[in-house]
Structure 1
């Protein structure tokens, strides 16, 4: 009995040590994440989450900021970063679109871990007569030079109102800030952006005023048109917006920014541990910025999002009772689209190696549209 007791105590101690070691090893000791530049919302939110991981688990996170989508993606694809806090470049990369429609890039198999929803709609000067998206016909719409992430969202939102770029006067500005401020200067009538951009508060206080064009959730035809162009958004109601009276909501589209992204071959156990840590540290980082409360997994762990969810994330979301059968169907369809584009890319690349870079990109974008149309 005495001997047996000693063996049992020893075994129990070893089991306890093993459990402690396992818990400590759920997250790596160190990680590297990429994000938008210092000062951006993406960097601030990544920093708040990294700080929470350090406090709760002792994990040291180095955030590598970059002002370009390629700069945020290259370290991830080269194995020098574990996760990337991305914007719509995650979708563009998965599609081989815009900056990634080159022989060196093309579609890649990325996976999402989670992504905070952010509202966007057509936001107009109050005196421009744009009460609905359809009212934007013939109006001056501000676009940003070299920024497909902003511009393609606007193209999709215009489609909601039955409009194309040919139906409006596109006015291109050199920077995001200048485009957002252009309505106050009466250089444009509307643009597409998030409702808390600083320049919108100036517009709301200006003589022109501000108006939000609603994207009603029950407008089935409008949403079908929008999602054909950009299938990463869904209906959203925003109660925090420049010039919006207290107690009112603006009906918008929700996209995801930032999207925590990794590669398809990232270990499912590693991703499971990451999203589990993201969930368990929520109370530490939720007040880090005004938008951090949207990182709750009930909001950030559901489609639609830029790329399919990683299997490790899905496993945890299912355990939490958040992931649904509809989410599974969305993920399967999104994965099918990505795989079809990757297969088409290999054939296209072999057949068009002699094209100039400009012609190559244009031809691929046409081929991409054909592949996507064939999936619907």
Structure 2
């Protein structure tokens, strides 16, 4: 059982990834092209701030123009890879759902995507449920959220999955037990909270938007996820494989000694499997060659440090990233075996998807049912975990 602030960490959970990726951009002699395009969350969030800090360092030191595209939810972010509008996405856990063909990615025009990780981030902050302080006094865990208004971001599998795990599964509830307030994007969920249209929303403890919410008339508190609640944690892990136990010590209104929460890597830089390996390796090299300027540029960029990388997670790493980590001396044979297994899992998902598409099912509900059944069948046949059966 992992209970830590997670400094150097080489492994965490287990799980999965696959679509027709964007056309690969080829680097010459493992050098970055003059313009690189990233997509991430809206302005004001930690990911956008980190992307801008990296962009500034690369522009100033290497003359590379890193353009940052904003997209308010995970499906919109990953669509920029699929359409060839971006080379990389700095995302949350939506990359896993894209790999799985889950939630919006289970629609007929999506399917499991061939995504690959490039780098991760692990800070001392956490992800969790923000709540109004006056309500937090009576909330000792997710099971105490019954009847409250929960901000639900449309088009964000990562946030939808988080709420399903942390609120519904851990709290042993259904959506009928809370008031679901649907909003179009993450920024809108923050606004809904600030404007007293929602009592709880999902966010990171150390983001600029958390500072903004705390400065509002509502203030900001946090819902703990106590480690001693084994039933809750069993339900979380059976619902969503991203979560690890973490004592969060950094963020807005975090008490001395920290809070027991569920968390996962702060940021996941990802691309498609067909992206040129030299390009990906050059992207990582540029980031770490300029890391003295990037580190500390925002409150969370230190989490990108090489010794904080989670190199065995739920989505496989790109061959170009692996080449960089091998040169840095941090990639092991065990990591490679884990990565190969994740790629094989993606292959099983791709085969399952192709089999369903070949059925030529026009009805959306029938297609979704066929995909769910075939996904479970093929994963189990390959000996892979099926962490969630309700997608």
Deviates more, 1:326-335 or 1:263-272: 326-335
Residue correspondence of structure 1 range 324-339 to structure 2 within 5 A: 324=332, 327-328=335-336, 330-339=338-347
Q: CA deviation at 1:210?
A: 5.2
Q: Alpha carbons of 1:209 and 1:31: their partners in 2 closer, same or farther (altered >3 Å)?
A: closer
Q: Alpha carbons of 1:362 and 1:289: their partners in 2 closer, same or farther (altered >3 Å)?
A: farther
**Structure 2 match to 1:295:** 304
Deviations, residues 211-267 of structure 1 (Å, cap 9, x unaligned): 43333567666444323322233333322333223x331233333454221221223
Cα distance in 1 between the residues matched to 2:190 and 2:85: 35
Deviations, residues 167-216 of structure 1 (Å, cap 9, x unaligned): 73142233445544556666555333222456755776789875433335
Residue segments in structure 2 that go unaligned for 5+ positions in a row: 1-27, 386-391
**Structure 1 match to 2:166:** 157
Deviations, residues 47-79 of structure 1 (Å, cap 9, x unaligned): 321332333433333334444545543453455
**Structure 2 match to 1:50:** 55
Deviations, residues 271-316 of structure 1 (Å, cap 9, x unaligned): 22322222221111112222111111222443435x2111222233
Contact 2:94 2:156 in 1 (8 A): no
Cα distance in 2 between the residues matched to 1:178 and 1:60: 29
Q: Alpha carbons of 1:32 and 1:132: their partners in 2 closer, same or farther (altered >3 Å)?
A: same
1:31 aligns with 2:38: no
Local SS of the residue matching 2:343: helix
- Out of 197, 201, 204, the residue aligned to residue 194 of structure 1 is 204
Cα distance in 2 between the residues matched to 1:215 and 1:241: 16
**Structure 2 match to 1:356:** 363
- Out of 140, 143, 165, the residue aligned to residue 134 of structure 1 is 143
- Out of 268, 272, 289, the residue aligned to residue 259 of structure 1 is 268
Local SS of the residue matching 1:215: coil
1:61 aligns with 2:69: no
1:113 aligns with 2:121: no
1:96 aligns with 2:105: no
Q: Alpha carbons of 1:269 and 1:181: their partners in 2 closer, same or farther (altered >3 Å)?
A: closer
Deviates more, 1:98-107 or 1:181-190: 181-190
Cα distance in 2 between the residues matched to 1:274 and 1:136: 43
Cα distance in 2 between the residues matched to 1:222 and 1:369: 24
Residue segments in structure 1 that go unaligned for 5+ positions in a row: 1-23
Deviations, residues 136-174 of structure 1 (Å, cap 9, x unaligned): 355543323443331211111236635243573142233
Q: CA deviation at 1:39?
A: 1.9
Q: CA deviation at 1:126?
A: 4.0
1:314 aligns with 2:318: no
Cα distance in 1 between the residues matched to 2:49 and 2:364: 36
- Out of 352, 363, 366, the residue aligned to residue 344 of structure 1 is 352
Contact 2:356 2:370 in 1 (8 A): no
Q: Alpha carbons of 1:98 and 1:269: their partners in 2 closer, same or farther (altered >3 Å)?
A: same
Q: Alpha carbons of 1:43 and 1:190: their partners in 2 closer, same or farther (altered >3 Å)?
A: closer
Contact 2:29 2:278 in 1 (8 A): no
Q: Which has the higher helix share?
A: 1
CA RMSD in angstroms comes to 3.5
Cα distance in 1 between the residues matched to 2:341 and 2:42: 35
- Out of 173, 185, 190, the residue aligned to residue 182 of structure 2 is 173
TM-score, with length taken from structure 2 = 0.74
Cα distance in 2 between the residues matched to 1:181 and 1:56: 37
Q: Alpha carbons of 1:271 and 1:216: their partners in 2 closer, same or farther (altered >3 Å)?
A: farther
**Structure 1 match to 2:223:** 213
**Structure 2 match to 1:280:** 289
Contact 1:87 1:259 in 2 (8 A): yes
- Out of 247, 257, 280, the residue aligned to residue 237 of structure 1 is 247
Aligned length: 350
Larger Rg: 1
Deviates more, 1:295-304 or 1:195-204: 195-204
Deviates more, 1:139-148 or 1:45-54: 139-148
The structure showing larger relative contact order (alpha-carbon pairs under 8 Å, at least 6 residues apart) is 2
